[in-house]
Amino acid sequence: MSGLNQRPLLLTQGDPAGIGPELSLRAWLERDRASLPPFAVIGDPDHFARVADTFGWTIPIAPVEPQQIQSAFSSTLPVIPLSVSVSAEPGTHDAANAPSVIEAIETAVRLVRAGSAAAVVTNPIAKHVLYKAGFRHPGHTEFLAALAAKGSEETYYPVMMLWSEQLAVVPVTVHIPLSDVPSALTTDLIVLTGRIVARELRERFGIANPRLALAGLNPHAGENGAMGTEDETIIVPAIDILRAEGIQVAGPLPADTMFHAHARSRYDAALAMYHDQALIPIKTIAFDEAVNVTLGLSFVRTSPDHGTAFDIAGKGIARPDSLMAALKLAARLGRP
């Protein structure tokens, strides 16, 4: 992918003790072979240099301003420095690094909103580590929506989509306890989510007439009310509203039979009613290729589908494929 005529991507450091830093370095090493779009990391250049050293990788690291990223990228890993330094041991998370994690995300959003970047790509954060430091958002998805609206009259409803060539899934409820799902699930929420997914599949993914499939909540989508009533009382009315708006929707489908290959060929995105209903099938089918995309914002954000993987950080065995897929999808969907 040629770099000089396109806006670069901004890649946040993520948790510095997780696999994000080593995957970012590996992605840069693979940039030509994998035809990766130009990107800059937002993080502490010294931390990235230390991680590269531990693997014996010769990677020139260049602190840059946003306008220098494209010209720097072919020969150096461009890094937009933070105001704080990072001290992290791979695998040993520390809430003391939370300010750097948050600053990287804030900087990325500020720059993409200012038009300095095509899109934002985030490395994984450990939510429980940030919560310890007082972070009040469930994850990136909700934090990015708040940052996208900051200082403006706009509000954004962020929708999480996990996308791969084989399957795209959207959890309608996201980071909440399973016991809270039935009360959080409303017809309005499903309709809002379905509208955003249909619009972005059209506008960003170029699918002229997107086909959505809605999972039921209960076994066998409720078995006519014998195994739960939400399918009939909450999901069916949402389907009726979306269809009346001209959106192609199937469902509510029994969730156990909607993810096999033949079933998947009938829709472009599956809307699942809770986190694991969506993420188990895609991570089973496409763990190394799937990308987390946030829909509904004023800019594109992608991320690998996996987390911080503290258990393997620093061992050199983390696979960079999902991060590289996230970089490619961000370039495809983002601003030219």
Ligand X SMILES: NCC(=O)COP(=O)(O)O
What are the helix (H) ranges across 221-271? 230, 236-244, 261-264
Considering only 105, 125, 190, 333, the residue that binds ligand NAI (CB under 6 A) is: 125
CB 245 within 8 A of CB 190: no
Q: Which helix (H) or strand (E) holds 105?
A: helix 98-113
In this structure, what are the phi and psi dihedrals at residue 17, rounded to the nearest 5 degrees?
-95, -5
Asked if 306 touches ligand NAI (CB under 6 A), the answer is: yes
Instruction: Tell the residue number behind the tokens 């192609």, with chain if given.
Output: 248
The option from ligand X, ligand NAI, none interacting with 279 (CB < 5 to 8 A, set by class) reads: ligand X
Options 50, 110, 127, 195; binder of ligand NAI; rule CB under 6 A: 127
Q: How deeply is 51 buried, as exposed, middle or buried, from its count of CB atoms within 10 A (0-12, 13-18, 19+)?
A: buried
Q: Build a one-symbol-per-residue string for 225-264: x at contacts with ligand X by CB under 6 A, - elsewhere.
A: ----------------------------------------
CB of 292 to ligand X, least distance (A): 5
137 is in an annotated binding site: no
CB of 318 to ligand NAI, least distance (A): 4
Residue 10 CA to its chain's centroid (Å):
13
Which residues neighbour 274 within 8 Å (Cβ) at sequence distance 6 or greater? Answer: 171, 172, 173, 176, 178, 181, 217
Residue 179, burial from CB neighbour count under 10 angstroms (0-12, 13-18, 19+): exposed
For residue 158, what are the CA distances in angstroms to 98, 155, 243, 254, 269?
A: 23, 10, 22, 26, 16
For ligand NAI (CB under 6 A), the number of binding residues is: 18
User: Binding partner of residue 318 among ligand X, ligand NAI, none, CB under 5 to 8 Å per kind?
Assistant: ligand NAI
Tell me which residue has its CB nearest to ligand X.
Answer: 139
Q: How far is the CB of 208 from ligand NAI (least distance, A)?
A: 30
Q: In the set 70, 100, 123, 141, which binds ligand X (CB under 6 A)?
A: 141
Is 301 annotated in a binding site? The answer is yes
CB 172 within 8 A of CB 273: yes
Secondary structure (3-state) at 306: coil
47 is in an annotated binding site: no
Q: Taking CB under 6 A as the criterion, which residues in 17-76 touch ligand NAI?
A: 19
Which of ligand X, ligand NAI, none does residue 306 bind to, with CB < 5 to 8 Å depending on kind? Answer: ligand NAI
150 is in an annotated binding site: no
Q: Distance of alpha carbon 79 from its chain centroid, rounded? A: 21
**Is 283 known to sit in a ligand binding site?**
yes
The residues in 171-230 that bind ligand X, with binding defined as CB under 6 A, are none
Q: Which is nearer to ligand X, 13 or 292 (CB)?
A: 292
Spatial distance between the Cα atoms of 99 and 112, rounded to a whole number of angstroms: 20
x-marked contacts with ligand X along 277-316 as a string, rule CB under 6 A: --x------------x----------x-------------
Nearest to 14 by CA among 116, 105, 87: 105
Of 135 and 205, nearer to ligand X (C-beta) is: 135
What is the binding site for ligand X (CB under 6 A)? 139-141, 279, 292, 303
What is the binding site for ligand NAI (CB under 6 A)? 19, 124-128, 140, 292, 303, 306-309, 311-312, 318-319, 322
Annotated binding site for a divalent metal cation: 175, 220, 275
